[in-house]
Structure 1
Amino acid sequence: MKQQYAGTHRAQAWARAAALVTVGAVGAMPVAHAEIELGNGISISGFLDMSYSSFSPDGGSSTESIGIDQFETTFKYAGSSGVSAQVDIEYGEGFDGSDDETFVEQAFVTKAFTEQFSVKVGRFLSYSGWETEEPTGLFQFSGTGYAKYFYGFYQNGVSAYYDGGSFAAMGSVVTSAFNPLDRNSTDGVDDEMGYEFGLALMPVEGLTAKAFYIVDQDTDTDIINFWTAYSVSGFTFAGEYNVVEYGTSSAVVDGEGDGYLLMANYATGPFGITLRYHDFEIESATGVTVDDGSAITLSPSYKIGDNLLLVTEYRMDESDTNGDSDSFAIEALFTF
């Protein structure tokens, strides 16, 4: 996993990747996944993410980083009677924050009861959030950094999905909305459940709107996440709004926060460019700002081949709690 400028990580899940496809985001990350067939219903795909980045805080010393950020391999199995399975093996930053780890990021089994309705069980990524968790679904190099406050994360549990064509509904019951290592032990501590509910509307071609409500009883946290996107003639426009309330068991006792982003992307041939603005603030019950930030991000990209994308990014951050900074990055993203 790659550490973002503003402190959180980005990701992939079939639901979020599907969301980008739904809105026709051909200019987001125009690299192909080969889905290499190994036989007997088994296929493999993945990506290698490498980057150079520099970070320059106002009044401080600049830092640089270069190397492999993440390598991931996805194994899929298509069985009989609507049963399938997926396992994602990742090399990168582990769930516990340690570097250079190899671990199981996702592992779940899906049963499709009809063409519209399916249920999956295991470890999977939350449906919520406009920005994907993996670099293969981002329109730029960095995530906003506010996903840890407003998105669900990898989760253990069961999830149902209904695809009605112009609309979709989804819901999950999980051990924790934010902690993939939570197994919900019944020892009286941290043994409450988490819940996620979502609704998606696709009324016309190129337009998608999704709303999510997340409840995490372990941390007394309630989140509303809403985003909408429209793609037409090489352009993709997106907007997102988030609001969170924390209870007495959370790190921000009885606190609250909100955040939003606005994004525009244009792609033509091998070229693409993204402009994004985001802003967020988290406050304690006494009105003290715990974390905040806003940034303007400009990110041109160039498709070198069907499986290789070069992304550059310049980003200007402002924050009362973390200070102001400028950053620059060059990313090479190879998919197979």
Structure 2
Amino acid sequence: MNKMTKLTPIAATLALALVTSTAQADDKLTVGGFIDMSYVSTDYDGASSESVSGVDQVEFNIGYDFGNKLTATVDVEYKNSTDGANVEQAYLSYAVSDNLSIKAGRFLSYSGWETEEPTGLFQYSGTGYAKYFYGYYQQGVSALYSGEKFAVAVSVVNDLAGPQSTDTEHPGIETMVAFMPTENFTVKGFYSVDGDTTMLNTWAAYSVDSLTLAAEYNSSEDTAGAGSEADGYLLMANYGFESGLALTVRYHAFEVEDSVGTLLEDASAITISPSYAINDNLLIVTEYRMNSDEIFGDSDMIAVEALVTF
């Protein structure tokens, strides 16, 4: 994926200090975020194992309500894989009515069951197939209409997965239709087009009491150059106990092939992830993941994550 707009460490520190001091004096400003750190050990079949640890990501979410139905959102993040801090999202949102809102700037795609941020995941790892089927951070304009039992959205962006793209000659279009027939059941479908690339993402989720069940199916096609086709799906169950303990079990699989049917990727995994909420701000997530990969080889992964939200 493309990097976000980069801030120098000094500029980032000054910006966050200014935000913090302003937040104390202005109740129209909200500041939140998270700190994500982990230890991961991976054992590769037929090869040596490796382990890594450290701070994965730190993010500050800054919101300002101007009144008159206009708000601004800016997310600043630090990732251990990049140098310095980055502006992840920056957009204005205007509430045309109680049901219709429009936003413009750089924002995250609506698509995909699994979120980009660790705070929205039920386990430590993502499937790894989002780059084939989900939109990413985008620059453009998006409209969302939400009713009691349905919602629709249309986004017109420079690039479905290009947060720094400024070329508007050939925009990408992402559409969403969602149905919520009951308060426990949600179904969403996304169809996105960007030049020679088309993506279909559909998912359904059922939540009742402490149980959440989800299923997702994806397909995409890129006819540019040699061309490629991809399909993937996941099944997930999560149950939360009163003690603060929760357990997630997930199975996912996907494959990618070129125009003549040669497999470029063919992978699946079973993930078992117990977690424990120590308090409202600190969540400990553990994970055991068994990867089966026909192209790059099998592996087993163990992860321990500490996720602090504020």
TM-score, normalised with respect to structure 1: 0.84
User: Using a 3 Å threshold, how does the CA distance of structure 1 residues 254 and 116 change in structure 2: closer, same or farther?
Assistant: same
Corresponding residue number in structure 2 for 1:213: 191
Give 1:216 deviation, angstroms.
0.9
Aligned pairs for 1:276-295 within 5 A: 276-295=250-269
CA distance in structure 1 between the partners assigned to 2:141 and 2:24 by the alignment: 28
Answer yes or no: is 1:306 the counterpart of 2:280. Answer: yes
Residues 228, 240 of structure 1: 8 Å contact kept: yes
Answer yes or no: is 1:178 the counterpart of 2:151. Answer: no
Aligned pairs for 1:187-206 within 5 A: 191-206=169-184
Amino acid aligned to 2:107: F
Aligned pairs for 1:250-329 within 5 A: 253-269=226-242, 270-329=244-303
Corresponding residue number in structure 2 for 1:90: 77
Corresponding residue number in structure 2 for 1:155: 138
Residues 37, 44 of structure 1: 8 Å contact kept: no
Amino acid aligned to 1:231: S
Give 1:247 deviation, angstroms.
1.2
Give deviations 1:289-316, integer Å, cap 9, x for gaps: 1112100000000000110000000000
Amino acid aligned to 2:233: Y
Residues 37, 43 of structure 1: 8 Å contact kept: no
CA distance in structure 2 between the partners assigned to 1:129 and 1:233 by the alignment: 23
Give 1:100 deviation, angstroms.
3.9
| Secondary structure at 2:68 match in 1 | coil
What 5-or-longer segments of structure 1 have no aligned partner?
Answer: 1-7, 10-35, 186-190
CA RMSD of aligned residues (A): 1.4
Give 1:254 deviation, angstroms.
2.3
Give 1:322 deviation, angstroms.
1.4
Answer yes or no: is 1:44 the counterpart of 2:17. Answer: no
Give deviations 1:221-270, integer Å, cap 9, x for gaps: 10110000001121100000001011125xxx322110000000000120
| Secondary structure at 1:203 match in 2 | strand
Give 1:75 deviation, angstroms.
0.5
Give 1:40 deviation, angstroms.
4.2
Higher strand share: 2
Residues 38, 44 of structure 1: 8 Å contact kept: no
Amino acid aligned to 2:228: G
Give 1:37 deviation, angstroms.
6.6
Corresponding residue number in structure 1 for 2:219: 243
Give deviations 1:15-42, integer Å, cap 9, x for gaps: xxxxxxxxxxxxxxxxxxxxx7752411
CA distance in structure 2 between the partners assigned to 1:43 and 1:112 by the alignment: 18
